[in-house]
Structure 1
Amino acid sequence: MPEGTKLAEEQVFTYRVLDEFSSFDPQVVEDVNGSEVVRDLFEGLYNQDADGNNVPGVALSHTVSEDNMTYTFTLRDNAKWSDGTPVTAGDFVYAWQRAVDPELASPYAWYMELMSIENASAIIAGEKPVTELGVSAPDDHTLVVKLSQPLPYFDKMVTHATTFPAPKWAIEAHGKEWTRPGNIVSNGAYVLTEHVLKERSVRERNPMYWDNENTVLDKVVTLVIGDDAQALTRWRAGEVEKTEIPAGQYPALKEEFPEEAYALPRLCNYYFTFNLESGPEAFKDARVRKALSYAIDRQVIVDRVLQGGQFPAYTFTPAATAGFEVPAVEYAGMTQAERDAKAKELLAEAGYGPDGEKLSFTYLYNTSEAHKQVAIVATQMWKQKLGVDVELSNQEWKVFLETRGNQNFDMARGAWCGDYNEASTFLDLLTTPSGYNDGKYSNPRVDELMTEAKSSANAQPLYTEVEQILAEDMPVVPVYHYSTNMMLDDSIQGWPVNNVEQNWYSKDLYKVAE
Structure 2
Amino acid sequence: MTKLFAPTALIVALSLPAHAVQPAEGETLADSQTYTYWLLDAIKSLDPAKNTDVEGSDVLRQLFEGLMNEDATGAMVPGVAETHQESEDGLTYTFTLRDAKWSNGDPVTAGDFVYAWRRVVNPDTASEYAWFLELMNVANATRIIAGELPPDQLGVRAIDDRTLEVTLSTRTPYFLKTLSHATTFPVPQAVVERLGDAWTQPGNLVGNGAFVLESHNLGVDITLAKNPEYWDAANVALDTVRGVTVNDNNVALTRYLAGELDRVQIPAGQYPRLSQDYPDQAVSIPYACSYAYVFNLSDKGPEALKDVRVRQALSLGLNRDIIVDQVLQGGQKPAYSWTHWAIEGFQSPDADIAGMTQPERTEKAAALLAEAGYGPDSPLALTLQYNTDENHKKLAIAAQQFWKPLGVNITLNNVEWKVHTDRMQSQDFDMARYAWCADYNEASPFLDWFRTDGYNSGKWSNAEYDALMAHSKTAPDTAPLYKRAEEILAEEVPAVFVYHYAKVDMLNPAIKGIPTQNVTNSWYAKGLYRIAE
TM-score bracket for the superposition, by shorter chain length:
over 0.9
Residue 414 of structure 1 corresponds to which residue in structure 2?
434
Deviation at 1:354, TM superposition (A): 3.2
SS state of the match for residue 237, structure 2?
coil
* Distance in 2 between residues matched to 1:427 and 1:200, nearest whole Å: 34
Find the residue that maps to 1:351 and give its secondary structure.
coil
Deviations, residues 190-232 of structure 1 (Å, cap 9, x unaligned)? 0001111111111000000000000000001111111111111
What is the identity, as a one-letter code, of the residue corresponding to 1:394? N
**1:22 deviation in Å?**
1.3
SS for the counterpart of 1:377 is helix
Report the Cα offset of residue 61 of structure 1: 2.1
Question: Structure 1 residue 450 and structure 2 residue 469: aligned?
Answer: yes
State the match for 1:182 in structure 2.
203
Work out the CA distance in 2 between the residues paired with 1:320 and 1:274: 25
- Give TM-score, length-normalised by structure 1: 0.98
Matched, 1:297 2:340: no
What is residue 119 of structure 2 aligned with on the other side?
98
1:274 to 2:295 alignment: yes
Note the 1:118-133 alignment, pairs <5 A.
Answer: 118-133=139-154
8 Å CA contact 2:238–2:525 kept in 1: the answer is yes
Structure 2: distance between partners of 1:395 and 1:62: 45
1:216 maps to what in 2?
A: 237
Instruction: Output the CA distance in 2 between the equivalents of 1:318 and 1:186.
Output: 33
Any conservation in 1 of the 2:110–2:160 contact (CA below 8 Å)? yes
- TM-aligned CA deviation for residue 5 of structure 1: 2.9
Aligned to 1:325: 347
Task: Name the residue aligned to 2:135.
Answer: 114
**What letter is aligned with 2:517?**
N
- Tell me the distance in 2 between the aligned counterparts of 1:347 and 1:263: 37
Q: Is the 8 A contact 1:100 1:109 kept in 2?
A: yes
Q: Does the aligned pair in 1 maintain the 2:374–2:407 contact within 8 Å?
A: no
Partner AA of 1:319 in structure 2: W
How far is 1:298 from its partner?
0.4
Structure 2 CA distance, aligned partners of 1:247 and 1:53? Answer: 30
Distance 1:70 1:483 in 2: 37
In the alignment, the residues of structure 1 paired with residue 104 and residue 38 of structure 2 have an alpha-carbon distance, to the nearest angstrom, of: 29
In the alignment, residue 51 of structure 2 is paired with which amino acid? V
CA distance in 1, matches of 2:174, 2:212: 30
Note if 1:135 corresponds to 2:153: no
1:337-356 counterparts in 2 under 5 A? 337-354=359-376
Query: Residue in 1 aligned with 2:358?
Result: 336
Counterpart of 2:501 in structure 1 is 482
**Cα deviation code 1:260-314 (max 9, x no counterpart):** 0111100000001110012111100110000000011101000000000001000
Question: Is the counterpart of residue 33 in structure 1 residue 52 in structure 2?
Answer: no
* Match of residue 503 from structure 1: 522
Q: SS at 1:93's partner residue?
A: helix
For residues 102-160 of structure 1, the C-alpha deviation after alignment (integer angstroms, 9 at most, x for no partner) is: 11111101111111111111111111111000000111111111111111100101110
Tell me which amino acid in the other structure corresponds to 1:397. Answer: W
Distance 1:81 1:336 in 2: 56
Match of 1:46 in 2: 68
Shift of the alpha carbon at 1:3? Answer: 4.8
Matching residue of 2:16? none
The answer to whether the aligner puts 1:392 opposite 2:412 as a matched pair is: yes
3-state DSSP of counterpart to 2:123: coil
- The alignment partner of 2:124 has SS state of coil
Are 2:168 and 1:147 equivalent residues in the alignment?
Answer: yes
Gaps (5+ residues) in structure 2? Answer: 1-21
Amino acid aligned to 2:33: Q
Amino acid at match of 2:439: D
Paired residue secondary structure (1:382): helix
> Aligned match of 1:68 in 83, 90, 109?
90
**Contact 2:28 2:532 (C-alpha < 8 Å) held by counterparts:** yes
1:404-435 residue CA offsets vs partner (Å, 9 max, x unmatched)? 1100000001100001111011011011001x
Structure 1 vs Structure 2: percent identity of aligned residues? 54
Query: SS at the partner of 1:294?
Result: helix
Asked if structure 1 preserves the Cα contact closer than 8 Å seen for 2:95 and 2:164, the reply is yes
**For residues 274 and 240 of structure 1, what CA distance do their matches in structure 2 show?**
36
> Cα deviation per residue 1:150-184 (whole Å; 9 max; x = unaligned)?
11100101110000000001111211000111111
In the alignment, which residue of structure 1 is the partner of 2:446?
426
Q: Secondary structure at the match of 2:120?
A: helix
- 2:9 is the counterpart of 1:9: no
Give the SS at the match of 2:435: strand
Q: What is the CA–CA distance in structure 2 between the aligned matches of 1:90 and 1:5, rounded to whole Å?
A: 43
Please give the TM-score of this superposition, normalised by the length of structure 2: 0.95
The letter for the 2-side match of 1:205 is: K
Q: CA RMSD in A?
A: 0.9
8 Å contact 2:36–2:262 — kept in the other structure?
Answer: yes
**Letter aligned with residue 316 of structure 2:** Y
Alpha-carbon distance in 2 for matches of 1:191, 1:107: 25
Query: Structure 1 residue 4: deviation in Å?
Result: 5.5
CA distance in 2, matches of 1:354, 1:394: 26
Tell me what 1:402 maps to: 422
Secondary structure of the residue aligned to 1:103 is: helix
Return the offset for 1:336: 1.1
Cα distance in 2 between the residues matched to 1:318 and 1:32: 16
1:249-268 superposed matches below 5 A: 249-268=270-289
SS at match of 1:208: coil
Q: Which residue of 1 aligns with 2:334?
A: 312
Q: Which amino acid aligns with 1:444?
A: A
Contact 2:376-2:408 at 8 Å conserved across structures: no
Q: Secondary structure at the match of 2:125?
A: coil
Q: Contact 1:152 / 1:455 at 8 angstroms: preserved in 2?
A: no
